[in-house]
A and B are shown apart, each in its own frame.
Chain A
Amino acid sequence: MDWSNFFSMGGYAFYVWGSYTVSLVAIAAEVIFLARRKKNLLKRSASHVNISGSTFK
């Protein structure tokens, strides 16, 4: 395996790696925003004691 060939993608590096970088960033952003949303919610729900008789963990 020749790594310089791998990175240059036969001259299409910008398009190929661009596509995968955007995809990775979008997926990572979705996961991170979701984790934050959950964390903030749990913080708030701790101040509202035992909403409708159910406990959320």
Chain B
Amino acid sequence: MNWYKYSSPTAFYPLAGKLIPWFAVPATLLFIIGLYLGFFVAPTDAQQGDAYRIIFIHVPAAWMGMFLYVLMAFYAAIGWAFNARLASMMASSLAITGAMFTFLSLVTGALWGKPTWGTYWVWDARMTSTLILLFLYIGFISLQAAIDDVRRADRAGALVAIVGVINVPIIYYSVQWWNTLHQGATLRLLGKPSMDQSMLLPMLIVLAACWLYSVAVVLQRLRCIILEREQQAAVAAEVV
């Protein structure tokens, strides 16, 4: 099978369509299983009571926000460096879902902060850098929307995306580098997680669900972008 042909948007379009259910269905199931375990199996926390249950959506949302940004910058860079249209379209598609998850991590974080810290918001390193992440997504999306020539829009977006990548390790290490109100990392790249198994498992399942969900919606949006650009090209051809 010649996989290379799928780098062409028109060839990729039907393939993406076939792939979507394989991500959307397990995503739905894992959301249900994860939240069931999180609400009905995981015990009440000794310190935070039931308020801690926000973690099952807060941490996955925060992870997806950061992860999708890195992925978006990666595709944007590939699209720019190799003049690969499909990779640039993938970057545009990732931006909306990444912004959505970043927004959710901020809102759920605020709703968790109020009962545990006594405030919805403080300008500390973790929260401020996450807010900057949301602004980077919004900047990327609005910059692309403002430029008519799609390939120029792709390159301008890529520049913002690549420069903004520096913010992701800042968010990740902010709780170590600065004295912040936010607690340390729940999941660590190296070493044991700072959480009991019965609470960790639902969070990881919801994380997997968010990941599968993201693949499904990003592929579907990619299909829309492919169609839109084909239509624009067709309209342009008629005008000429």
Contact = CB atoms under 8 A, between A and B. Distances in A.
- Do A and B pair up? The answer is yes
Interface stretch (B44-52, B78-86, B140-148, B175-183): B44-52
Interface stretch (B105-113, B123-131, B185-193): B105-113
B103 to A, nearest CB: 7
A12 B220 CA distance: 37
Contact of B13 (A14, A34, A56): A56
Given A22-B108, A30-B217, A16 B50 contact: yes
Q: Is the interface of A mostly helix, strand, loop or mixed?
A: helix
Nearest to B51: A12
Nearest to B24: A31
Contacts of A23: 57, 61, 104, 108
Given A9-B49, A48-B234, 19 more contacts: A6-B39, A12-B49, A12-B115, A15-B51, A15-B111, A15-B115, A16-B53, A19-B107, A19-B111, A19-B112, A31-B217, A37-B221, A38-B220, A41-B224, A44-B231, A51-B230, A54-B10, A56-B230, A57-B17
Interface of B: 10, 13-14, 17, 35, 39-40, 44, 49-51, 53-54, 57-58, 61, 96-97, 100, 103-104, 107-108, 111-112, 114-115, 213, 217, 220-221, 223-224, 227-228, 230-231, 233-235
Interface of A: 1, 6, 9-12, 14-16, 18-20, 22-23, 26-27, 30-31, 34, 37-38, 41-42, 44-45, 48, 51-52, 54, 56-57
